[in-house]
Each structure stands twice: as structure tokens, then as C-alpha cells.
Amino acid sequence: MTAPPCIPAQSVIAMAASAGGLHALSVILGGLPADFPAAIAIVMHLSPVHKSLLAEILSSRSQLEVRQAQTGDILCHSSVFVAPPNHHMSVVKGGRIALSSDEAEKVHFARPSAEPLFASVAEVYQSHAIAVVLTGGDGDGSFGVQIIKDRGGKVIAQDRPTSQDFSMPQSSIRTGDVDFILPLTEIAPMLIELIVPGKA
């Protein structure tokens, strides 16, 4: 089956997760329709020494097209791009993905880190950027959510009861720049409400 033509995304959702992230991402992506009119870029803290099956697993649990990101990929509607292990992922002008080298400096002890992704999505997509901070340890994403908010975007954090590790969402919430603190099952409906006209 041939892939549908790429419709360059006008809105981009940047998601970050760590411990418990596979379940969280599966629930959210599984709750979005096949014609979801935005692109999603995902950073999850993964072992740098093993091949990642994250994209394949999420693809089996979602109607969206999920792939491991490569430099030069265009952010398209209804598509999900997963950062590969050991590479930071950023978005550059024109809505293209850029991956760092595997020797780039770690951020919050992580590579990939949410910070380069969030900051770059904010710069390129401004008020059409959404950050989603999911279950995980440490404070990854807490600087990036402030940039998203400064550029007019929205920020969602997973709530404590549904997080396996609340450290990452809590760090973002403490910035004061989180718009919605939601249980896991309510994040996909909120994304639909924010992205799809007439669904509010």
C-alpha cells in the first residue's frame, strides 16, 4: 500500500516521555483519528545500545503513520516521528526534522532530550505548537515548555495518579507554564479539541 501524500503540518505536537512512556504514548496515539490534522514528534529516553522498536510498537497501536525519524523528514499531517536512540531531534525551518550526531552533548543526562525538540518546535510553529510532558524521571522538558508558552503555544502535563513516575511532569508544572494537567485518558481528547476545528 502506498503512503498517502504528505500534507505539511500547520500544527505540531511535541511529546516527551521516559519511565512508563510506552504505555502512555500507546494510549494517546491510540485515541487519535487516522486523519488527525497535525504532526507529532516524540522523544523518549531509550537505551543507546539497543535497536529501538518503539516506532514499530506504536505503529501497531495507532491509526496514524508512525516512523523512526530521519534527518530531512517533513512533518506531515497524521504522522508520528520518533527520535532514534542516542540522537537529539529538532525541527528546522520548513518543517523538516534534524537529528544530532550520537556524540552531541546530553541534556538532563539524556540523549535524546525533550529540550531541543520543544525549543525548536516553538521557534518554527509558534502558537501552533503543543508540548505534552508525560510520565518519566528527572526534569527533562521543563525549559522547553517555557519557550513553547512564550511563543504562544499550549502545554499539557500528565497528572500524578496516572504517571508511573511524576518527576518529569511535575518539573514542567512547577514552571507555571502548563495549561492542562490531565489524566492519561483525557490527553488525546484534549489534543483533538485543540487541533480539530469545531471539536471544542
> What amino acid positions are annotated as catalytic residues?
18, 45, 140
Give how far the C-alpha of residue 154 lies from the chain's centroid of Cα atoms, to the nearest Å.
Answer: 13
> Hunting for cell 490531565 — which residue is that?
182
**Residue 87: closest CA among 143, 42, 136:** 42
Q: Give the helix/strand (H/E) hosting 159.
A: none
DSSP 3-state assignment of 195?
helix
Sheet containing 154-158: which strands, arranged edge to edge?
65-68, 79-82, 39-44, 12-17, 129-133, 154-158, 180-182
**Residue 149: closest CA among 176, 168, 189:** 176
The single-letter DSSP state of residue 106 is P
In this structure, the strands spanning 89-92 and 96-99 are antiparallel
Q: Which three cell numbers stand for residue 25?
A: 504514548
Question: What's the longest Cα–Cα distance across the chain?
Answer: 46
